[in-house]
Structure 1
Amino acid sequence: MRLQKQVGVAALACLLSWQLIAGTQVAAVGTKLTLSSQEIITSGAIMKNYIWTTTRSNKEVSVNANVIEVDLTNPNVKIDAMAGTNNQFTKNQSVLGMVKDTGAVAGVNGDFFNTQAEGVPEGAQITNGQVMATPAKISGLYSFAITKDNQPIIDILDFQGKVTAKDGTSFELGGVNKTFYWDDNGTPLIADGLFLYTSAWAMTQRAVDGTHVPTEALIENDIVKEIAVDTNVKKVAPVNGYILRGSGLARDFIVNHLKVGDKITTKYDMIPHDISKTYDWKNFKMLIGGSTLLVDDGKPSYFTRDINDFSGYSPRSRTAVGYSKDLKKAYIITSDRSSGSAGMTLPELQQFMVDAGVWRGMVLDGGGSTQMVSRSLGDMDPKLVNQTENGNQRAVANGLGVYSTAPKGNLKGLILKGQSLLFMNESSTYQFKAYDDYYNPISVSSVTPQWGSTGNIGVFKDNVFTPTMVGKTQITAKSGNGSASMDVEVVGRDQITSMAFSSGAFSVTEGGDFRLPITVKTRSGATRELPASSATWELSGVKGTITNGVLHIDSAAGAKAAQVIAKYDGYSTMVTLPVGQEKIWYDLDNYAVMTTSDKYPAEVGASVNIVTSSGSKNLELSYDFTKGTGTKAAYAKFNDKYGAPIEGEPQFLTAKVYGDGSFNWVRAEIIDGNGKSNLVSLTENMNWTGWRKVTADLSNLKYPLTIKSVYVANPLNGQDERAPKGKINIDDISFIYKGQLPALPNNKVQLTVNKKQATLNTQPMTLEQAPTIVKDNTLVPIRFVTEALNGTVKWDEKERKVTVIRGDKLIDLWIDNADLIVNGQRVTAEVAPAIMNNVTMVPLRLISERLGFKVGWDPQNYGITIE
């Protein structure tokens, strides 16, 4: 966060008085804190995930918040401050980077910092007992510290220091490793200030504000080694020394009182702002600065700074730290403003902290800086666990890290990972993580578990489980004292509530490949894609094959639609896909448009030529990507810069491409109805040599369309894996238009309850079984009605199952079972299908609604009309 010039002391006193009242006015009411999950990070540290709800502008909102709870009495864990890269200031990086650099198991961002300056914290910092920065001379800034006895402190620390020259002259020291800033009265302290910089400051320039020219002195082992007048020492301070930087009066002190070879004395102190307190800061284990106090004595406190400087009354992502009343727990806190999480104002953050158990707490930097990183139990690597406000991980000045200090322990437990929902004959690989007595990860390469499952419904080979029967099982892995288990359900027909193709509506074309994913939902609420190998497939209407769930059309001559049925454990679903109409647009033998070459960048070589092969003309596009940088492309452009308009609303673009095995991309540039350029891929991996038909989906574009070019592209990422020179040939560029499903005949059936006489259109018919009423439901002979209205009926004697297909509708029903499967959806009828006089009778209303029949009812004569 960028620091602003600070308000005056008198103004601050008024401000604090007003904020106490304002904070009371806007404090959250009607809050609810729900612990959604928790997990051990390491011995002494737990990650708790909360959902916090409150009322804002008469509307309930919810916020995702995370709390790392650290047991300060546990000798196997510690909290410490982190900084930049390799624990140096001015080398900002993300919290994840700092956690990995320092070997932490978790962490958050830390103090406020000036994003326009070198990148150092506003307040103080002690890392591993070493002072890295001292407090700023700004009132109301709190710090969080851990004493040598592991006691937490949140308080204001003031800075005092001076440098004494050999001649006895002293000058007040402004601070250690500070960037330029202003005091409470708006005075730039760097103007006449003397500041000290250690090796923790990684830059060779210090506190550059563009106005005050520095004079610097290099000190090693308390001896002046170099004086740079009106310029900076061109090095980073050594480990055994420091650099003094002065401007104005401080410059005069350096120039007039320090000499190379002199011994000088530098002393400084960090003292409590409350003079009634004393702290042994030189023995602090760690310290990090922040801003306003938020919680005191388990209640929201007044604000000790103007929180408008960091959008305190607006919902933002927030970071905070606090501790419990008994001083035994520290709480490291983030709350998110992101998709699904409404962020917090500072008054709301205060209430959340109180709800979460904080006795005393303060704010850290927030907004776009808020990041929490943690290692999951059994994982080697930490990961970002919150959703950042801007979607990125901002480079920040410092952070709070959580570290394991435990020795290496013995194997304590395992954690299983893998599918909890399986289908019969689906082989699934299960993996595991391991952790020791201190909940720290153990390399899985050193652990060989024994695998097993209950119920005898499948078999294990190494860590691969293959179920052979429907049912529930518990998969287990054991190694020494460590074990883990997970429940797995092997789904059967009775557990499925729906099974449907999820590829959406599209038309198929001859020579095309079309993936047909199937989504299954179970009674338990689980959703998964059905493995293609677990289904049995049927194809009708066209000639083709279905391999691994991909439909390939060999021939669609004369066909109007392709019909695909997939079955799993007797549960069926169907999709009917119209055959699209293909119109060749560019074949050079009959029709083409003016075609010219183009390239990007300018150093690329590109050319187009008309060539003849096998008696047919086609377009040759040559490319040379050996020169230039970045993504490269060679174009075949149509109608110069104007492109060619395409009639109608094509769903797909297809072309025959003679590939060169270069692994380059082939794309087309399409201008949509909004004038937007769309780069659609025909292939992103030209790994073949010879002719191949390729396809691009245009169905999501706004019509009308204009095709500008077809081109070969070599994107920057992975460029070294693609051939830099080559040529391809292009022929038969076509557009595929959406096909129409064939219309069903307009037949009409007339029936009468309890009478066998019927008519089909005007032809009289005699039924083997008359329609009848059972429990206020009219049952009709399904075979007669379906076939009369151009459907088909299949009978499975073994399962006593009837399958009805009419147009794009499929129904499976079982005799004496009220559950029916309609286009993959489970439906329950009021009356089950039954056999009467060796004829299958089904509920008319349910079947008519599902098959698209129109039904008329004559209540006076009990007459039924179906059409």
Structure 2
Amino acid sequence: MKVQKQLGIGALACALVWQLTSGTMVFAADSTLTLSSQETITSGATLKNYVWTTTRSGKGVSVNANVIEVDLTNPNVKIDAMAGTKNQFTKNQSVLGMVKDTGAVAGVNGDFFNTQAEGVPEGAQITNGQVMSTPAKISGLYSLAITKDNKPIIDIFDFQGKVTAKDGTSFDLGGVNKTYYWDDNGVAMIADGLFLYTSAWAMNQRAVDGTHVPTEALVVNGIVKEIAIDTNVKMIAPADGYILRGSGLARDFIVNHLKVGDPITTKYDMIPHDLSKTYDWKNFKMMIGGSTLLVDEAKPSYFTRNIGDFSGYSPRSRTAVGYSKDNKTVYIITSDNSGSSKGMTLPELQQFMIQAGVWRGMVLDGGGSTQLVSRPLGDFDPKLTNNTENGNQRAVANGLGVYSTAPQGELKGLILQGQKVLFVGESSAYQFKAYDDYYNPISVTSVVPQWSSTMTNGTFKDNVFTATQPGKSQLVAKSGKGTATMDVEVVGRDQIQSMKFSAGSFSLTEGGDFKLPLSVTTKSGVTRDLPPNSAQWELSGVKGSINDGILHVDSTAGSQTAQVIARYDGFSSMVTLPIGQEKVWYDLDHNAVMTTSDKYPAEVVSNVNIGKEASGNKTLDITYDFTKGSGTKAAYARFDGAYGTPVAGEPDFISAKVLGDGSFNWVRAEVIDADGNSNLVSFTENMNWTGWRKVTADVSNLKFPIKIKSVYVANPANGQDERAMKGKVSIDDISFIYKGQMPTLPKNSIKLTVNNKNATLNDKSMTLEQAPTIVNGNTLVPIRFVTEALGGNVKWNDQERKVTVIRGDKLIDLWIDNPDLLVNGDRVTAEVAPKIMNNVTMVPLRLISEKLGFKVGWEPIKQGITLE
């Protein structure tokens, strides 16, 4: 988002030219708030996780939201403002970093800030009773404060200040620890302004905007110690002093009225905008700034800022704070725009806050800045709790922290950690955490619990439980007053609902290694990956081996497909994989086409070169500089000029090796389809790695033949400030992967008649050992005859009385007199169980035909059956 003076402002970061919008109240329709979980963080602070649903543009959406409730009446907890690294401005860092630095047990990001400046909050901040910054002279900005009596306040504060020289001349003070900004009228406050900087400003330079040259004065213990005309004082302000920075008229005041050795008087005040109110701000325990008011008296407030300037009407991640009607509870709030959680508009956030209990509340910075950190019960280290909008933790200017002030208590409880679903023969170590009477963690180094289980389906050795047979059990750990339990299910065949390969779509190639993960879902609805060593593996169609769940293909030997069967405790699943071919199209060592550099927009700097690794391998290097220009930016490697290079055949995937630069930029390919349309396919939309990585993009849905026109690095306009503006990406081995064809099943036809042993196969007469028959309204047919005639295979396991049927990519396991069948890893229940008649296995026609893909015809008068 761009604001006046072409100042680059990140999503929901400091927008400095806002318009006051009054009377705006938009209601979210049909919203429902559901508490999904809650956990005590410390005495007086509880984390609640909500799912908020509403209707947006006629469609239902769901949002994950988090609320930390802080009890202001509890003497063992407090909230305070945090800043940068070690509570210093200009040293932005993530919320997790600030929480760890300050010893907080939880926290969120705080005020809006200018991402292009030094990194200081827009509004006021008081930390531990000390003023770190004062309000900007911008209308409609609210702040949260806690009084000396532990009462919350959310209100607008104005700043007044004055510096008086020895000769009696005074000059208005613009603020404390402020970076450059513009007021509501677009006036640059720094142009003629005088500003004060304390030791909290951790840079030798102050408010550098590239336009206004500073003149500065160092003041220590009320005495002018140094004056730097048209330059800056080369130091950070000392703890017992401050630095005055001025330009324009303020420069003239410093030059003409201040002298080294003279005393100087500086006074300032933060007063409520509503002059009917009185606050003792000098005794505030804490204060943090925000933007528009959202909730007033448990109703949506009109917006005190133009929320369109910071995406207020778009669903984004959000951060907010508020308090209850009785002034006893502070609510610290985040909502996520990530994955299936669809973020909130500010009108929606208003509704959520009211439903969560907020009486009066305001918005904090959001979007890519939204981060919620909390310390899990029993843990010493805090963790990121929410899912951030762009998958990374943005460095922000300040935050709102939650702190425990409780003394060390006695052991109160234990928390077990470990696997809740086990497989037979699997061993799992169980750990535990401990917490005291104030819900703060206790070191477990001296705690030795007693371990036990309520059932005999496993054994303990120290803290390691080994599952020996299927069934449910409860694991128990005891130590002193602390007891913890955990329900554990040992899964066997009877507990499994499905077992599926989750490898995704790919084609096998000789010499390749292919991971074959197995996912098991129990009847109780729990899903877990099956440890590869717990399965028995079968491989057919290719020569190779399966070790630790990875298929290595030695030779395809002309096969069209490979079949992999995995079995666990008699439960089976199969995946049929086509034999494909990967063809390297571009690698500079052996295959290349004319490659040129291009860019968008014109201000972007981009170069394409041939790089060379230490091994001698050549690479395609794209160097980019996105610091200039606006909108989406891109650096291209063009192939064969503007027309692109034809690609043979109909590949399913395009792949490349990419040497990432950790920039979070996108890497894409531009592919032209048969209609001449340009298709942008993404290798990655979050290049968060360094080093080489193979990436793949799907092109199977394009209209063939296709051409590849370019590969390129892109920095889209949305969230642009969260990505690196300069960098270099190397690309090698651009390949196309072609899928092999699945073998065609025989086009045979079978005719059968109920209660008649005569049958025909492709018009050839045959005599069955057992005629089709009807049992309880279900037609049963001889499975071996039918399957083998239609191109399948049947295996009989006499010990288990089990039949295994494989036809094409379908696998069925069935047991005599058992209505439960396993069909491609799914448990299916038939109306009639398979039966043996005259030593022939008979199975329900309807179920088998549906699952094996038979086409069935029925002639009701003669009870004739046609299968093909």
Please give the TM-score of this superposition, normalised by the length of structure 2.
0.78
Find the counterpart in structure 1 of residue 479 from structure 2: 479
Name the CA distance, whole Å, in 1 between partners of 2:220 and 2:243: 9
Question: Given that residues 651 and 697 in structure 1 are in contact (C-alpha distance below 8 angstroms), is that contact kept between their aligned partners in structure 2?
Answer: no
Moved more, 569-578 or 471-480: 569-578
The one-letter amino acid of 2:233's match is: V
Question: Given that residues 585 and 591 in structure 2 are in contact (C-alpha distance below 8 angstroms), is that contact kept between their aligned partners in structure 1?
Answer: no
SS, match of residue 267 in structure 2: strand
For the pair 1:436 / 2:436, whether they are aligned, the reply is yes
Moved more, 64-73 or 796-805: 796-805
Counterparts of residues 187-226 of structure 1 (less than 5 Å) = 187-226=187-226
- Closer/same/farther in 2, CA of residues 747 and 119 from structure 1, 3 Å limit: closer
Name the CA distance, whole Å, in 1 between partners of 2:132 and 2:398: 11
Question: Given that residues 16 and 183 in structure 2 are in contact (C-alpha distance below 8 angstroms), is that contact kept between their aligned partners in structure 1?
Answer: no
SS, match of residue 174 in structure 2: strand
Find the counterpart in structure 2 of residue 712 from structure 1: none
The one-letter amino acid of 2:365's match is: D
TM-superposed CA distance for 1:567, in Å, is 2.2
Question: Given that residues 681 and 698 in structure 2 are in contact (C-alpha distance below 8 angstroms), is that contact kept between their aligned partners in structure 1?
Answer: no
SS, match of residue 31 in structure 1: strand
Question: Given that residues 426 and 533 in structure 1 are in contact (C-alpha distance below 8 angstroms), is that contact kept between their aligned partners in structure 2?
Answer: no
Counterparts of residues 373-452 of structure 1 (less than 5 Å) = 373-452=373-452
Question: Given that residues 6 and 185 in structure 1 are in contact (C-alpha distance below 8 angstroms), is that contact kept between their aligned partners in structure 2?
Answer: no
Tell me, which stretches of 5 or more residues in structure 1 are unaligned? 587-591, 607-620, 631-638, 655-668, 687-694, 709-729
- Closer/same/farther in 2, CA of residues 180 and 514 from structure 1, 3 Å limit: closer
The one-letter amino acid of 1:463's match is: N
Find the counterpart in structure 2 of residue 466 from structure 1: 466
Q: 1:4 aligns with which of 5, 10, 16?
A: 16
Name the CA distance, whole Å, in 2 between partners of 1:255 and 1:505: 73
Name the CA distance, whole Å, in 1 between partners of 2:649 and 2:220: 80
Question: Given that residues 450 and 478 in structure 1 are in contact (C-alpha distance below 8 angstroms), is that contact kept between their aligned partners in structure 2?
Answer: yes
TM-superposed CA distance for 1:89, in Å, is 1.9
Counterparts of residues 352-363 of structure 1 (less than 5 Å) = 352-363=352-363
Question: Given that residues 672 and 678 in structure 1 are in contact (C-alpha distance below 8 angstroms), is that contact kept between their aligned partners in structure 2?
Answer: no
- Closer/same/farther in 2, CA of residues 228 and 274 from structure 1, 3 Å limit: same
- Closer/same/farther in 2, CA of residues 580 and 448 from structure 1, 3 Å limit: same
- Closer/same/farther in 2, CA of residues 468 and 231 from structure 1, 3 Å limit: same
Find the counterpart in structure 1 of residue 235 from structure 2: 235
Name the CA distance, whole Å, in 2 between partners of 1:736 and 1:187: 59
Name the CA distance, whole Å, in 2 between partners of 1:189 and 1:699: 52
Question: Given that residues 671 and 705 in structure 1 are in contact (C-alpha distance below 8 angstroms), is that contact kept between their aligned partners in structure 2?
Answer: no
Name the CA distance, whole Å, in 1 between partners of 2:446 and 2:433: 11
TM-superposed CA distance for 1:63, in Å, is 3.2
The one-letter amino acid of 1:863's match is: G
**CA RMSD for the aligned pairs?**
4.5
Name the CA distance, whole Å, in 2 between partners of 1:493 and 1:322: 52
Find the counterpart in structure 2 of residue 795 from structure 1: 796
Question: Given that residues 411 and 481 in structure 2 are in contact (C-alpha distance below 8 angstroms), is that contact kept between their aligned partners in structure 1?
Answer: yes
For the pair 1:845 / 2:851, whether they are aligned, the reply is no
Find the counterpart in structure 1 of residue 628 from structure 2: none
Counterparts of residues 164-175 of structure 1 (less than 5 Å) = 164-175=164-175
Could you tell me the percent identity over the aligned residues? 75
The one-letter amino acid of 2:318's match is: R
Counterparts of residues 285-296 of structure 1 (less than 5 Å) = 285-296=285-296
Find the counterpart in structure 2 of residue 818 from structure 1: 819
The one-letter amino acid of 1:826's match is: R
SS, match of residue 368 in structure 2: helix
Counterparts of residues 776-787 of structure 1 (less than 5 Å) = 776-787=777-788
Name the CA distance, whole Å, in 1 between partners of 2:155 and 2:115: 25
The one-letter amino acid of 1:818's match is: P
The one-letter amino acid of 1:418's match is: G
SS, match of residue 320 in structure 2: strand
- Closer/same/farther in 2, CA of residues 593 and 200 from structure 1, 3 Å limit: closer
Moved more, 318-327 or 798-807: 798-807
- Closer/same/farther in 2, CA of residues 646 and 427 from structure 1, 3 Å limit: farther
Question: Given that residues 214 and 232 in structure 1 are in contact (C-alpha distance below 8 angstroms), is that contact kept between their aligned partners in structure 2?
Answer: yes
Tell me, which stretches of 5 or more residues in structure 2 are unaligned? 1-12, 595-607, 625-639, 656-667, 710-732
Name the CA distance, whole Å, in 1 between partners of 2:185 and 2:696: 64
Find the counterpart in structure 2 of residue 634 from structure 1: none
Deviations 1:224-252 (A, max 9, x none): 21223343322221111112234455444
Find the counterpart in structure 1 of residue 835 from structure 2: 834
Question: Given that residues 199 and 236 in structure 1 are in contact (C-alpha distance below 8 angstroms), is that contact kept between their aligned partners in structure 2?
Answer: yes
Deviations 1:453-493 (A, max 9, x none): 22111223333332121111222333333332222222222
Name the CA distance, whole Å, in 2 between partners of 1:605 and 1:842: 63
- Closer/same/farther in 2, CA of residues 790 and 438 from structure 1, 3 Å limit: same
SS, match of residue 573 in structure 2: strand
Find the counterpart in structure 2 of residue 862 from structure 1: 863
TM-superposed CA distance for 1:125, in Å, is 1.5
- Closer/same/farther in 2, CA of residues 351 and 487 from structure 1, 3 Å limit: same
Name the CA distance, whole Å, in 2 between partners of 1:188 and 1:839: 92
TM-superposed CA distance for 1:419, in Å, is 2.6
Name the CA distance, whole Å, in 2 between partners of 1:182 and 1:652: 51
Please give the TM-score of this superposition, normalised by the length of structure 1.
0.78
SS, match of residue 818 in structure 2: coil
Moved more, 764-773 or 179-188: 179-188
- Closer/same/farther in 2, CA of residues 216 and 622 from structure 1, 3 Å limit: closer
Moved more, 227-236 or 559-568: 559-568
Find the counterpart in structure 2 of residue 691 from structure 1: none
- Closer/same/farther in 2, CA of residues 162 and 526 from structure 1, 3 Å limit: same
Question: Given that residues 652 and 696 in structure 1 are in contact (C-alpha distance below 8 angstroms), is that contact kept between their aligned partners in structure 2?
Answer: no
Name the CA distance, whole Å, in 1 between partners of 2:296 and 2:244: 38
Name the CA distance, whole Å, in 1 between partners of 2:117 and 2:172: 24
Name the CA distance, whole Å, in 2 between partners of 1:212 and 1:519: 62
Question: Given that residues 294 and 303 in structure 1 are in contact (C-alpha distance below 8 angstroms), is that contact kept between their aligned partners in structure 2?
Answer: yes
The one-letter amino acid of 2:783's match is: I
- Closer/same/farther in 2, CA of residues 293 and 167 from structure 1, 3 Å limit: same
Q: Aligned pair count?
A: 780
Name the CA distance, whole Å, in 2 between partners of 1:858 and 1:677: 51
The one-letter amino acid of 1:4's match is: L
Question: Given that residues 670 and 705 in structure 1 are in contact (C-alpha distance below 8 angstroms), is that contact kept between their aligned partners in structure 2?
Answer: no
Name the CA distance, whole Å, in 1 between partners of 2:358 and 2:582: 69
Moved more, 123-132 or 288-297: 288-297
Find the counterpart in structure 1 of residue 127 from structure 2: 127
Deviations 1:356-377 (A, max 9, x none): 2112222223333333222222
Name the CA distance, whole Å, in 2 between partners of 1:110 and 1:697: 38
- Closer/same/farther in 2, CA of residues 777 and 112 from structure 1, 3 Å limit: closer
Moved more, 63-72 or 138-147: 138-147
The one-letter amino acid of 2:141's match is: L
Counterparts of residues 429-828 of structure 1 (less than 5 Å) = 429-503=429-503, 513-540=513-540, 544-552=544-552, 562-577=562-577, 604=612, 648=649, 747-761=748-762, 764-789=765-790, 791-828=792-829
The one-letter amino acid of 2:102's match is: T
Moved more, 399-408 or 774-783: 774-783
SS, match of residue 156 in structure 1: strand
Question: Given that residues 650 and 698 in structure 1 are in contact (C-alpha distance below 8 angstroms), is that contact kept between their aligned partners in structure 2?
Answer: no
Question: Given that residues 216 and 229 in structure 2 are in contact (C-alpha distance below 8 angstroms), is that contact kept between their aligned partners in structure 1?
Answer: yes
SS, match of residue 224 in structure 1: strand
Deviations 1:567-603 (A, max 9, x none): 22222333455666999999xxxxx99999xxx9878
SS, match of residue 243 in structure 2: strand
TM-superposed CA distance for 1:378, in Å, is 2.8
- Closer/same/farther in 2, CA of residues 103 and 785 from structure 1, 3 Å limit: same
TM-superposed CA distance for 1:791, in Å, is 4.4
Find the counterpart in structure 2 of residue 31 from structure 1: 31
Deviations 1:703-744 (A, max 9, x none): 879999xxxxxxxxxxxxxxxxxxxxx9xxx99975555555
